[in-house]
Amino acid sequence: MLRAAAVAAAVAAAACSREEAGGVRDVAARVNGGEIPLARVQAALEHGGIGRAAQSTQAKSRALEAAIDQELLVQKALAARLDRDPDVMRELDDNRRRILAQAWLDQALGGRARPDAAQVAAFYSANPALFSARRIYAVRELRVALDGRHSVAELRSVAAHGDAGRLEQWLEREGLRFQARSRTEPAEALPLVFLARLASMKDGELAVVEADDGVSVIELRRSLAAPLDESEAAPTIERFLASRRRSELVRETLAGLRGDARIEYVGGKGTAAAPRGPADARARAVHTSIESPYDQPTQPGIAAASAATGKERS
């Protein structure tokens, strides 16, 4: 399937090449007679997160050389008639459907996810740990795998002594597995569940944090004040709020489409259509089904969420 996916991408590029050649006369290069439009090179740069203002001659050159390599592979794939391969055809169709679905969502949502100035200001005021009281944190995290004999309350009791070495000795003595990780990051790059505790901690303190994916003990080794004013923070806040609002709008849109559609679940050997569950169960199913292919879910840290949104089409 890896071969099929790679060839599918190459053949898809070939299809774009034939279409572009008919309407775009600004050509970046010709490879065995096949044209590489400048527009394709520019799109590759922007898709890689390089805005027009930041594009250098070196970056453009790298993008062009990559396009030439791709064109050579595409030509070989077409000569081998791999565009007729059943696996490749299926991958091409899957990609086409995914692109069409995303394009319709982008058109339907329009600019509705963009926050206004009042929303940006409110978010800034409500999150001093991220902005006005922002710090850079040096943190050591212990990811602890609790078993049936030990509870989070017991872990908190040991951590309350504030001695990281003693805590690790206790974990080893009790046979509890743990993984240690050190990081130095600004507030916006940390998981929000960590930041909620770190913002009120002093250097050297320990805290036990529960999240959906497990339990961690975090030790704040040191921190450095690094506040941001509202004008500095505004672009990040706008992207973060847009990402969060877009997720909500996608869920609402697909829930509405499902509500208006006639959907029949057909199992093997003619089993009856699956019954429709309660409204809240359906909403959860919609959320699960759309997040991966059509949307960027909000990430644990505000920086990750805003970076993901920055790559979307506005």
For the 135-225 domain, the top CATH level (class) is alpha beta
Task: Return the pLDDT at 292.
Answer: 38
> Is residue 139 a contact partner of residue 217, using CB atoms and an 8 Å limit?
no
CA–CA separation, 259 vs 59, rounded Å? 47
Question: Residue 122: which of 233, 28, 42 has the closest Cα?
Answer: 233
CA–CA separation, 226 vs 143, rounded Å? 27
Contacts of 243-247 spanning 24+ positions with Cβ under 8 A:
243/113, 243/296, 243/298, 243/305, 243/306, 243/308, 243/309, 244/298, 244/305, 245/112, 245/113, 245/114, 245/115, 246/109, 246/113, 246/295, 246/296, 246/309, 246/312, 247/291, 247/295, 247/296, 247/297, 247/298
CA–CA separation, 20 vs 40, rounded Å? 9
Question: pTM value?
Answer: 0.59
Task: Return the pLDDT at 196.
Answer: 86
Task: Return the pLDDT at 308.
Answer: 47
Spell out the domain ranges in the chain.
Answer: 2-109, 135-225, 229-310
Contacts of 19-25 spanning 24+ positions with Cβ under 8 A:
none
71 Cβ contact list (under 8 Å, min separation 6): 13, 17, 31, 34, 36
Question: Residue 204: which of 190, 188, 223 has the closest Cα?
Answer: 223
What's the Cα-to-Cα distance from 303 to each of 57, 132, 225, 239, 306, rounded to whole Å? 28, 16, 18, 9, 5
Mind listing the pLDDT tens digit of every residue in the chain (314 residues)?
545 555 455 545 555 555 444 444 699 999 999 999 999 888 888 877 666 666 688 888 888 999 999 999 999 999 999 999 999 999 999 999 999 999 999 999 988 999 999 999 999 999 999 999 999 999 999 999 988 888 999 999 999 988 999 999 999 999 999 999 999 999 988 888 888 889 899 999 999 998 777 899 999 999 999 999 999 999 989 999 999 999 999 999 999 999 999 999 987 544 444 444 444 433 333 333 333 344 444 444 666 555 544 444 44
